[in-house]
């Protein structure tokens, strides 16, 4: 690009006056939308080779060559004896919950993707929403103890943002209270807890390889465990309970991963270091560009642990910024930066839980506070350094003029308008 071209782009991007913000009628800083969770894609040629091979073999699903290879690789990388690949993370959760005989009540965070709760409710098990630690955004072990009742059979803890839960404390509670502990590790493939790979904690751990995860199988998931009997049961359950042609020995469902998904997974795995490297670099750049911006905190990753850096999470302290998280999200959307409010408003405020337990929020003060402050920004291989610079410039401008932007939004917003 010529120097003049570069200056033009720069002029378009940098906001000087409030009216330059797209939310007030200015030109959006970005021509194309930037999404949270844009898929990372590995080597296309390699993927297409594999898909061609699948077609040549005429073996498309049902524990084919590629699914077996994928399961082996995941087990190796997670450091477990078994990996059972599934069609998605939600079905993997449902299978694990059922195979582990969870019943009655199971303690889960409310600050998670709705699938964690639904996987229980789907089987008529009551998700009991428990508060989180404000520092880690994961289950607070002290609160977990408070939520145990005679009906409690288990705990599903979530390694949110790929940052490990307080595994030791949870394992101790599960052991001493006779509860089954498993982990929703949907965000945490490639991450460690005290140097050990996530995958082998609790009775089982569940991964998601959905398109929006840092490495994906289009749709997909997996359960990892070191329990031989559990693994055997899960293999039956994900294939209708078939133990051979014409022989069903267990109740089951169809939770199988297809060959083409496994091919995508194997191809993605070959680029995993690159994906993590890009995410780590993006995280560092956001950190530098937003450094010192009052009221905006970038959630850090523990430098002593391995992490996939897939989630770029900000906490907005409205008292400091003078502009709310929701207003910032609205303003970014207008600029074509589709920031997200994961996991607002918390599962307990979504149906059917909101109707079942209208007062659950009373036990979840930290969840409610954090859910009102968190905002996720785009990262991954689909965005570049210039995009990050632009996003940070918009944020810096909006926060520096926080009170004025808020006032102007209030006077320009039609009554009843909400941000997504």
Which residues are at the interface with ligand T4K (CB under 6 A)?
35-39, 88-90, 112-113, 115-116, 158, 184, 186-187, 208, 210-212, 221, 338, 342
Nearest distance from residue 38's CB to ligand T4K, in Å? 4
Grouping H, G, I as helix, E, B as strand and the rest as coil, residue 377 is: strand
Closest to ligand T4K by CB, 206 vs 409, is 206
Nearer to ligand T4K, 15 or 203 (CB): 203
147, burial (CB in 10 Å: exposed 0-12, middle 13-18, buried 19+):
middle
CA distance 31 to 28: 7
The minimum distance between CB 84 and ligand T4K, in angstroms, equals 14
Structure tokens at 198: 């996530």
Minimum CB separation of residue 239 from ligand T4K in Å reads 18
- Indicate the residue among 189 and 397 with the shorter CB distance to ligand T4K: 189
Q: Which residue lies nearest ligand T4K, judged by its C-beta?
A: 89
393: nearest Cα among 11, 5, 134, 2: 11
Write the Ramachandran bin of 108: left for phi over 0, alpha for psi from -120 to 50, otherwise beta. beta
At 409, which helix (H) or strand (E)?
helix 402-412
Instruction: Name the residue nearer to ligand T4K (CB basis): 113 or 357.
Output: 113
Closer by beta carbon to ligand T4K, 113 or else 353 = 113
Instruction: Identify the bridge partners of residue 375 per DSSP, sorted by sequence position.
Output: 314
Taking the complex as a whole, the smallest distance from the CB of residue 309 to ligand T4K amounts, in Å, to 15
Q: At 251, list the tokens.
A: 């109740």
Task: Tell me how far, at minimum, the Cβ of 44 lies from ligand T4K, in Å.
Answer: 15
Query: Smallest distance, Å, CB 162 to ligand T4K?
Result: 10
- By beta-carbon proximity to ligand T4K, the closer residue of 208 and 381 is 208
The verdict on whether omega for the bond into residue 352 sits within 30 degrees of 0, i.e. cis, is yes
**Minimum distance between the CB of residue 5 and ligand T4K, rounded to whole angstroms?**
28
Q: Note the helical H segments in 58-135.
A: 65-78, 89-99, 114-121
Task: Please say which residue, 37 or 42, places its beta carbon nearer to ligand T4K.
Answer: 37
Buried b (16+ CB within 10 A) or exposed e, 157-189: bbbbbbbbbbbebbbebbeeeebbbbbbbbbbb
Compute the least distance from the CB of residue 248 to ligand T4K, in Å: 26
Under 8 Å between Cβ of 365 and 373: no
Task: Kindly tell me which of 286 and 344 has the beta carbon lying closer to ligand T4K.
Answer: 344
CA distance 216 to 160: 18
322: left (phi over 0), alpha (psi -120 to 50) or beta: left
Shortest distance in whole angstroms from residue 207 CB to ligand T4K: 8
In the complex with ligand T4K, which residue's Cβ is closer, 77 or 382?
Answer: 382
Burial call 14-51: b when 16+ CB within 10 Å, e when fewer:
ebeebebbbbbebebbbeeebbbbbbbbbeeeebeebb
């Amino acid at each position: 690009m010529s120097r003049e071209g570069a200056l033009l782009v720069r002029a378009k991007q940098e906001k000087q006056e409030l009216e330059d913000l797209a939310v007030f009628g200015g030109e959006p800083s970005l021509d194309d939308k930037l999404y949270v969770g844009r898929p990372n894609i590995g080597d296309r040629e390699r993927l297409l080779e594999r898909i061609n091979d699948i077609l040549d073999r005429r073996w498309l699903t049902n524990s084919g060559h590629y699914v077996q290879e994928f399961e082996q690789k995941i087990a190796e990388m997670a450091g477990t004896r078994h990996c059972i690949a599934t069609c998605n993370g939600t079905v993997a959760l449902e299978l694990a919950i059922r195979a582990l005989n969870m019943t009655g009540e199971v303690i889960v965070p409310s600050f998670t993707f709705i699938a964690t709760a639904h996987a229980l409710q789907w089987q008529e098990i009551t998700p009991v929403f428990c508060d989180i630690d404000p520092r880690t955004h994961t289950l607070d072990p002290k609160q977990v103890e408070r939520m145990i009742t005679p009906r409690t059979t288990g705990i599903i803890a979530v390694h949110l943002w790929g940052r490990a839960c307080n595994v030791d404390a949870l394992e101790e509670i599960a052991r001493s209270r006779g509860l089954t502990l498993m982990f929703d590790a949907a965000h945490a493939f490639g991450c460690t807890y005290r140097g050990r790979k996530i995958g082998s904690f609790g009775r089982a751990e569940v991964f998601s390889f959905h398109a929006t995860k840092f490495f994906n199988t289009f749709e997909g998931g997996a359960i990892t465990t070191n329990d031989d009997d559990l693994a055997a049961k899960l293999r039956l359950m994900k294939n209708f309970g078939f133990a051979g042609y014409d022989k069903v020995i267990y109740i089951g469902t169809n939770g199988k991963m297809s060959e083409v998904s496994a091919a995508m997974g194997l191809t993605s795995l070959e680029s995993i270091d690159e994906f993590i490297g890009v995410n780590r670099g993006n995280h560092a750049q956001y950190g530098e560009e937003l450094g010192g911006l009052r009221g905006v905190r970038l959630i850090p990753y523990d430098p002593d642990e391995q992490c996939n850096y897939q989630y770029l999470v900000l906490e907005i302290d409205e008292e400091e910024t003078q502009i709310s998280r929701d207003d910032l999200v609205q303003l970014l959307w207008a600029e074509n930066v589709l920031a997200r409010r994961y996991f607002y408003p918390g599962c307990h405020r979504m149906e059917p839980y909101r109707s079942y337990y209208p007062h659950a929020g009373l036990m979840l003060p930290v969840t409610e506070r954090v859910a009102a402050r968190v905002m996720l920004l785009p990262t991954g291989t689909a965005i570049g350094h210039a995009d990050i610079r632009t996003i940070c410039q918009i944020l810096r401008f909006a926060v520096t003029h926080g009170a004025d932007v808020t006032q102007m939004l209030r006077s320009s917003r039609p009554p009843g308008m909400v941000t997504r």
